[in-house]
Amino acid sequence: MTTTLPPLRRWPLVRGEVAFWLLHYRRTWRSSIVMNIANPLLFFVGIGVGLGRLVDTSASASLHGASYLAFLAPGLLAAAAMQTATIESAAGSFLSLRDRRNYRAAACTPLDPIDVLAGHLLFIAFRIATSAAAVLLVMLLFGVARSPLVLLALPAAVLTGLAFATPGMALGVTIRSRETFFNTFRFVIMPMYLFSGTFVAVDELPAVIRPIVYPLPLWHGVELCRGLALGGLEPGRAVLHLTYLTVLATAGLLLARRAYRRALHD
Amino acid sequence: MVRAQNLHKRYAKRRGAEFTAVDGIDFTLRRGECFGFLGPNGAGKSSTMRMIGCVSTPTSGELEVLGLDVREHGRRIRSRLGVVPQDDALDGELSVTENFLLYGRYFALPRRVIDERTRELLEFAQLTDKADARVDELSGGMRRRLTIARALINQPELVLLDEPTTGLDPQARHVLWERLFRLKRDGVTLILTTHYMDEAEQLCDRLVVMDQGRIVAAGTPRELIDAHCAREVVEARFDPDDLATAAKALGAALAEQRIETLPDRLLVYADDGEATLHTVNRQELRPITSLIRRSSLEDVFLALTGRTLVD
């Protein structure tokens, strides 16, 4: 029997998955935004009046003449994007598959695993953007941005987040216990937070450690955001960072696509 | 509606071993009927349902649902199915109405259509006064009715129900059965799996009995009972210590009749229950209690596999 069937369009279905996440977000967005703003605010005040003074009096050349707060702020921006992305992707997809089981419900509808992945990823990108925008807002309030290009730090932070979100989603639907997620956070994300030039310029680190830092995705995000906020980002290095993060995000997406197919259908 | 031919599902296990969940089954489903898969846990019922629901790809064999090949048209088939999973998969944090809204969105239905159908389906599920309640606050029976109603949001031609009344109390089961009858009357084709023989007898026009991945018998409930069992059963309960002796004595006295030994009682199949009961009670070793009942699908299963459905 050959019948010509009308095409089944994909985008309306992906939107169905986005709608799921937005409806849930609608219940928590206020507290979520307060958290997103309060977090950098506390950090900035603490550093600005405390640690920052201490560092600035022994000012080092590697701060490029900026205050320590101005140096640190874009690092925190990139790190916040990483943190939001990891939690939303790995924990979000793990719970969606096993606890809340909304993935299981969606799998029985016309959505293919790739549609579920696309819809959830769009929402995660939105969440990374809102949390990055909150940090950026606080940066502008404190007047620590020196270049008008600082606004480009928002898409840069989103890209940084996506480099964590896509492998995070692959991880979330693959792991069998939440312990694996906590361990990843403890032993991968936290060290990366500390050693990616977020708090100290990589040039300041011992020469032995530096080669370990360069492949870290967060370092590329931090460099990108810092260059845009403080000015003086060389085009060649910008291309390198952008390419590195894009490759990671894409590789993660391919892994996630395979992992979602296996997890949602068999 | 559904046609399966030599359908297999094998899962890879660790160290290269394979587990065969469905081992070459054939069946055909007609529009408007209620078709049942009866069998114990692990018989392959749920794996078969998952393949019909296009969330699991057959390892080999052919499977057509709504006239379409499942390997090519999974998305399209799913868009015309209603699926009621065993574990509900409802969103407990959201309200009843919001659950309809989200599920309707998965089918890319416009808001207006979803709202309209939600009103009708709330009535169908007898949940109109719970429209704004959080799903977490509903009873098990209400949740199951909601899951069934939610599965109807896309007006499916075929509804798959996996163990629809497992875990419900008798009253909630009867309410649910009545709702399913109504669905069938409205022309919706139903497929259900169950390990309750009374449920299969109540609801199914035709059914297949599955055991260890294979279909061991097929037909209407009546046909199956007639083909595999005598009309009536005498159940005689004995002290477990006396069971073997009693079975031997009855076997000699009623040599023509089939006798099954269960852990706590003997089942004697008979065309004339009264006469058989009389014989049973005249033995030296008398049963603690005894009764006559009509043969059921439970007995069919026992006759076919030598095991009981629910233990």
Q: What is the ipTM of this complex?
A: 0.86
Residue B50 distance to chain A (closest CA, Å): 9
pLDDT at A188: 93
Least confident among B91-105, B119-133, B274-288 = B274-288
Residue A68 distance to chain B (closest CA, Å): 44
In contact, B6 and B24? CB cutoff 8 Å: yes
Which of A8, A23, A100 has its CB closest to that of B75? A8
Residue type, B16: G
A111·B73 Cβ contact <8 A: no
pLDDT at B307: 74
Does B146 have pLDDT greater than 80? Answer: yes
Element (H, E) at A94: helix A92-98
In contact, A40 and A142? CB cutoff 8 Å: no
First and final CA of chain A: distance in angstroms? Answer: 27
Q: Tell me the CA distances in angstroms from A251 to A42, A165, A212, A218, B106, one per residue in order.
A: 35, 11, 21, 16, 27
Strand-pairing partners, residue B206, are: B35
Q: State the average pLDDT over residues B187-210.
A: 90
DSSP string, chain B: -EEEEEEEEEEE-GGG-EEEEEEEEEEEE-TT-EEEEE--TTSSHHHHHHHHTTSS--SEEEEEETTEETTT-HHHHHHTEEEE-TT----TTSBHHHHHHHHHHHTT--HHHHHHHHHHHHHHTT-GGGTTSBGGGS-HHHHHHHHHHHTTTT--SEEEEESTTTT--HHHHHHHHHHHHHHHHTT-EEEEEES-HHHHHHH-SEEEEEETTEEEEEE-HHHHHHHHS-SEEEEEE--GGGHHHHHHHHHHHTTTS-EEE-SSEEEEEESSHHHHHHHHHHSSS--SEEEEEE--HHHHHHHHHSS-S--
Which of B87, B89, B107 has its CB closest to that of A110? B107
pLDDT at A1: 47
Which of B78, B85, B101 has its CB closest to that of A110? B78
More confident residue, A201 or A221: A221
Is A101 near chain B, with CB under 8 Å? yes
Sign for the pseudo-dihedral over CA of B222, B226, B232, B235: negative
Is B75 near chain A, with CB under 8 Å? yes
Distance of alpha carbon B292 from alpha carbon B272, whole angstroms: 10
pLDDT at A62: 56
Structure tokens at B244: 């073997």
pLDDT at B167: 83
pLDDT at A60: 59
Does A2 have pLDDT greater than 60? Answer: no
B79·A109 Cβ contact <8 A: yes
Is B11 near chain A, with CB under 8 Å? yes
Query: Which range has highest mean pLDDT (A193-202, B103-112, B240-249)?
Result: B103-112
Does B272 have pLDDT greater than 60? Answer: yes
More confident residue, B290 or B16: B290
Q: How confident is the model at residue A4 (pLDDT cuts 50, 70, 90)?
A: low
pLDDT at B229: 86
Does A3 have pLDDT greater than 60? Answer: no
Which of B57, B92, B101 has its CB closest to that of A265? B57
B290: number of CA atoms within 13 Å, CB side?
Answer: 20
Q: State the average pLDDT over residues A244-264.
A: 97
Nearest C-alpha in A relative to B154: A109
The number of helices, as runs of H, and strands, as runs of E, in chain A is 12, 0
Residue count of chain A: 266
A110·B57 Cβ contact <8 A: no
Q: State the average pLDDT over residues B163-177.
A: 89
In contact, A222 and A75? CB cutoff 8 Å: yes
Does B33 have pLDDT greater than 90? Answer: yes
pLDDT at B62: 96
- As a whole number of Å, the CA-based R_g of chain A is 20
Best to test chain A binding among B55, B72, B105 (most A CBs inside 10 Å): B105
Does A72 have pLDDT greater than 60? Answer: yes
Which of B53, B75, B81 has its CB closest to that of A112? B75
pLDDT at B125: 93
Is A189 near chain B, with CB under 8 Å? no
Nearest C-alpha in A relative to B64: A1
B89·A105 Cβ contact <8 A: yes
Does B20 have pLDDT greater than 50? Answer: yes
pLDDT at A117: 97
Which of A24, A106, A265 has its CB closest to that of B56? A265
Does B310 have pLDDT greater than 80? Answer: no
Is A265 near chain B, with CB under 8 Å? yes
Does A45 have pLDDT greater than 80? Answer: yes
Does B7 have pLDDT greater than 70? Answer: yes
- In chain B, pLDDT over 90 holds for what percent of residues? 61
Q: State the average pLDDT over residues B244-256.
A: 87
